[in-house]
A and B are shown apart, each in its own frame.
Chain A
Amino acid sequence: MSPANDILLSVKDLAVSFRSGDGVARAVDGVSFEICKGETVCIVGESGCGKTVSALSILGLIPSPLGEIVAGEILFQGLNLVGLDEERLRAIRGKKIAMVFQEPITSLNPVFTIGDQIAEAIEIHESLPRDKVHQRCLSLLKDVGIASPEERLQDYPHQLSGGQRQRVMIAMALSCMPELLIADEPTTALDVTVQSQILQLLATLQKRHGTSILYITHDLAVVSHIATRIYVMYAGLIVEQATTDRIFKSSKHPYTQGLLASLPSRLKKGQQLPSIPGTVPDPAHRPEGCPFHPRCGFAIASCRVEFPEMCDYGDGHLSRCPVLFESVSGKGDLP
């Protein structure tokens, strides 16, 4: 792993609980991850696994009193963001850590022009004269690839296309040159062609500004293009983490393997598309032992009762499946 002083964000044992009609549920149940300078880290998982909640907790955007962070630390440049007072948190939001959300049409305020909204992001953190702010907005729009930026600044969000709106969101997020950009499924709501453009854009911007990116998605295919390291989440836990290469070539968790197997690109012609049987458990009613065991083809008796700890495969590759770990380390056969 990289030396300690390169770590930008370090999340340790984060737990977030939500109150629902059924009681209290832990959407995130002990999650740890790190992001280093200049890296692109991806968190991958199905809907409901807690990845968005993890991302929202970083900036303190968990809707309370419904949800709250009940345990863990989020260390950003040495500062613990959990429990930090509002004023200091606000200084970090938008300036040091910025976020791009999933639905650009609802994430932009419909009654203000996009020029106003981008300018606002700049004005709140830096005191620049009007014309300089305007200049910055223009160059930001150019950077994200929006044509005729002068006119676009006067437009309202509903006048732009989905792809353009997301570019505006990215421009807004990058306006104060943050060190970390959190992107929560930014391309899920967009067409496939636009998706790849946005991905390309993020990669370019990262190279240019050296921003670290935390990319949240459910789409493994997307992940392969941009991520340095991947964390796979399931039922509020990280079940596997490794570099992209390792995940794709030799993943060591049944869930990850299942996800990979169900990618259409891996199919040969005439083969039936495999899928993981069963459904994601309700956060309030998670199974005992390993949360994945009801759907797992490798499950043995102990999986039903023992909570699986992380198994270390070296080089930062960790996986929460002792069954596969045992078989790799010599005991028993790989089924």
Chain B
Amino acid sequence: MTDRTRTPLRWNQHLDAPSSPGKSRLQESWDLFVSNRLAIAGFVIFLVFLCVAVLGVFLTSGTRPVCDPSLVRLEEKLRPPLSRPNLKVLRPEEVPALKVYLFGTDELGRDIFSRMLQGAWVSLTVGFVAVGISVLIGIFMGGMAGYFGQKHVRSGHVLAVLLIGTGFALLSIGRWLASLPFLIAGGIMFLFSGGYSRTGSRNSGGTSLHPVLHFPVMTVDTLIMRTVDIMLCFPSFFLILTVVAILPASMYNIMIVIGLTSWMGAARFVRAEFLSLREQDFVTAARALGVGKFRIIFRHMMPNALGPVLVSATIGIASAILTEAGLSFLGFGVPPPHATWGNILSDGKNFIFDAPWLTFIPGIAILIVVLSFNLFGEGLRDILNPKLRERP
């Protein structure tokens, strides 16, 4: 190893030196992405996975699917991968497609290949929907905290929320009529509590019906950040496990629960970005031009804030898939006989020495898919953060 004092890739000072751009930002990002081989590999694997999942839904659903994941053939249990079916014992419709057990069979003689196809869709949907929910909530909360952070929540607002809450509670029990006055009163209360001024100025002035309603309780920022703190106090896997164990098992419940418990990271990122962006000159310039608040938020600030959110979203998908697999493994995933990669592995753990393919095939599949998302996410992070670029 040489003695050389290794110099880093670039000194910070040089990053600020102006240089005339040879190509647009989009072009630059694309070039960077293409040159990062790992990110490309990740993206390609993701596309393959997407196709497999969609294909899987078509091949395995319906009453006479091409690849039947739930067909039990007890005579053929625990057959290794690439083995030929015993045609003498099987009825014609029990013979698998392509006349070979591509991935072998499990302890009930079900074709693992078909089950993997069925499970692919579950993993995909859970990953995307869960992260979609968490990102939406996170962006909303973070954006509110970041932009409206200094505005105060007034006592009128609190009362309004309580009224509306009671109204919804009554609604859920079924007392339509009783809930109406609460809802209406709450709505009016909210409107008249003021707290926002029509001139769009920064101070938390504004009018309200009565001074009592105007009393500032806390800032929006504090409110949202305390909510984040409260959510963070719950150990996430336990929370998910608790909710999933209590609610009836279904794919949608799992997705929603994972989504509802992982928005905190995105919220923090968006809030941090908004706080720094709000002070930047282009926002002040926009306001000086008279651009409306929401237009500023959505058109000017949001695109800048989305960078870290995008990175954490791709990594979030990876982690959501792992969580779903874990839940399936423990028995809380999508209920049988629907196959998921987690429960194939879970069923197979009892036969680990006799039929290792039951463990390895789903395990490696999960590994590859999650790896591809992680690589893709890192590639995105590389593009978005010039300081950490591996290549020039």
Q: In the complex they form, do A and B come into direct contact, defined as C-beta atoms under 8 angstroms apart?
A: yes
Q: Is A63 an interface residue (CB 8 A)?
A: yes
**How far apart sit A48 and B13, CA to CA, in the bound complex (Å)?**
12
CA distance A52 to B19 in the complex (A): 14
Residues of chain A in range 66-92 having any CB-CB distance to chain B below 8 Å: 66, 85-87, 90
Question: Do A87 and B392 form a contact, CB below 8 Å, given A21-B31, A63-B10, A285-B22?
Answer: no
Complex: chain A residue closest to B10, CB-CB: A63
At the interface with chain A, which of B1-9, B36-44, B333-341? B1-9
B31's closest neighbor in chain A, by CB? A21
Instruction: Tell me whether B3 and A63 are in contact (CB under 8 A).
Output: no
Known contacts A19-B392, A21-B28; is A281 also within 8 Å of B20 by CB? Answer: yes
User: A94 — which chain B residues lie within 8 A by C-beta?
Assistant: none
In the complex, A22 has a CB within 8 A of chain B: yes
CB pair B4 A284 closer than 8 Å:
no
A280 touches B20 (CB 8 A): yes
- Say yes or no: is B238 at the interface (Cβ < 8 Å to chain A): no
Residue of A nearest to B392 (CB): A19
User: When the two chains form their complex, are residues A87 and B3 in contact, meaning their CB atoms are under 8 A apart?
Assistant: yes
Give the residue among B4, B31, B32 with the most A Cβ atoms within 10 A: B4
User: Which of A21, A48, A283 has the most CB atoms of chain B within a 10 A radius of its CB?
Assistant: A21
In the assembled complex, the CB of B391 is this many whole angstroms from the nearest CB of chain A, namely 9
Cα separation A102 to B17 with both chains bound (whole Å): 12
Per a CB cutoff under 8 Å, which of A86, A279, A282 touches B3? A86
Give min CB distance, A39 to chain B, whole Å. 26
Contacts of B18 in A (CB 8 A): 47-48
Which of B10, B12, B17 is A66 in contact with, Cβ under 8 Å? B10
SS of B interface (majority): loop
How many Cβ-Cβ contacts under 8 Å join chain A to chain B? 49
Contact: A283 with B19, CB < 8 Å? yes
Taking a contact as CB atoms closer than 8 A, the residue among A22, A63, A282 that contacts B9 in the complex is A63
- B5 cross-chain contacts in A, Cβ below 8 A: 86, 90
Contact partners of A232 in chain B: CB under 8 A: none
Considering only residues 22-66 of chain B, those with a C-beta below 8 Å from chain A are: 22, 28, 31-32
Q: How large is the interface on B (under 10, 10 to 19, 20 to 34, 35 or more residues)?
A: 20 to 34
Could you tell me the distance in whole angstroms from the C-beta of A9 to the nearest C-beta in chain B? 21
Least distance between A274 CB and chain B CB atoms (Å): 22
Which of these, B11, B22, B28, contacts A63 with CB under 8 Å? B11
In the complex, the chain B residue whose C-beta lies closest to that of A103 is: B13
Shortest C-beta distance, A224 to chain B (Å), equals: 25
What is the bound-complex CA distance between A90 and B11, given in angstroms? Answer: 19
**B22 adjacent to A284 (CB under 8 Å):** yes
With both beta carbons as reference points, the residue of chain A lying nearest to B7 in the complex is identified as A63
Residues in B neighbouring A52, C-beta threshold 8 A: 13, 17
Q: Is A20 an interface residue (CB 8 A)?
A: yes
Provide the bound-state CA to CA distance between A18 and B7, in Å. 14
Per-residue interface assignment for chain A, residues 5 to 25, with 1 indicating a CB less than 8 Å from any chain B CB and 0 otherwise:
000000000000011111000
Q: Is A328 an interface residue (CB 8 A)?
A: no
Using an 8 Å CB-CB cutoff, how does the interface string of B358-392 with A read, 1 for contact, 0 for none? 00000000000000000000000000000000001
Asked, given contacts A61-B7, A63-B8, whether A20 binds B17 with beta carbons under 8 Å apart, the answer is no
Known: A21-B392, A102-B13. A48 touches B19 (CB 8 A): yes
Residues of B within 8 A of A64 (CB): 7
A283 to B21 alpha-carbon distance, docked (Å):
11
* A63 to chain B: closest residue by CB: B7
Does A220 reach chain B (CB closer than 8 Å)? no
Min CB gap B29→A, angstroms: 11
Q: How far is the CA of A87 from the CA of B3 in the complex (A)?
A: 8
Option from A21, A47, A62, A86 in Cβ contact (under 8 Å) with B17: A47
Q: Is A106 an interface residue (CB 8 A)?
A: yes
Return the chain B residue nearest A101 by Cβ. B13
Q: Are B20 and A282 in touch, CB under 8 angstroms? A: yes
Q: Complex: how many Å from CA A86 to CA B7?
A: 12
Q: Give the CA-CA distance A20 to B392 in the complex, in Å.
A: 5
CB distance from B257 to the nearest CB of A (A): 43
B13 → A minimal CB distance (Å): 6
**Residue numbers in B under 8 Å from A87 (CB-CB):** 3
Q: Distance in Å from the Cβ of A309 to the closest Cβ of chain B?
A: 27
A61 to B9: give the CA distance in the assembly, Å: 11
- Known contacts A66-B392, A280-B20, then 6 further A-B pairs from the complex at CB < 8 Å, ordered by chain A residue: A21-B28, A21-B31, A48-B18, A52-B13, A86-B2, A86-B4
25 contacts between A and B (CB under 8 A): A19-B392, A20-B392, A21-B28, A21-B31, A21-B32, A21-B392, A22-B22, A47-B17, A48-B18, A48-B19, A52-B17, A63-B7, A63-B8, A63-B9, A63-B10, A63-B14, A66-B9, A87-B3, A101-B13, A106-B12, A106-B13, A280-B20, A282-B22, A283-B19, A285-B22
List A residues at the B interface (Cβ < 8 Å): 18-22, 47-48, 52, 61-64, 66, 85-87, 90, 101-103, 106, 279-285
Which chain B residues have a beta carbon within 8 Å of chain A's beta carbons?
Answer: 2-5, 7-14, 17-20, 22, 28, 31-32, 392
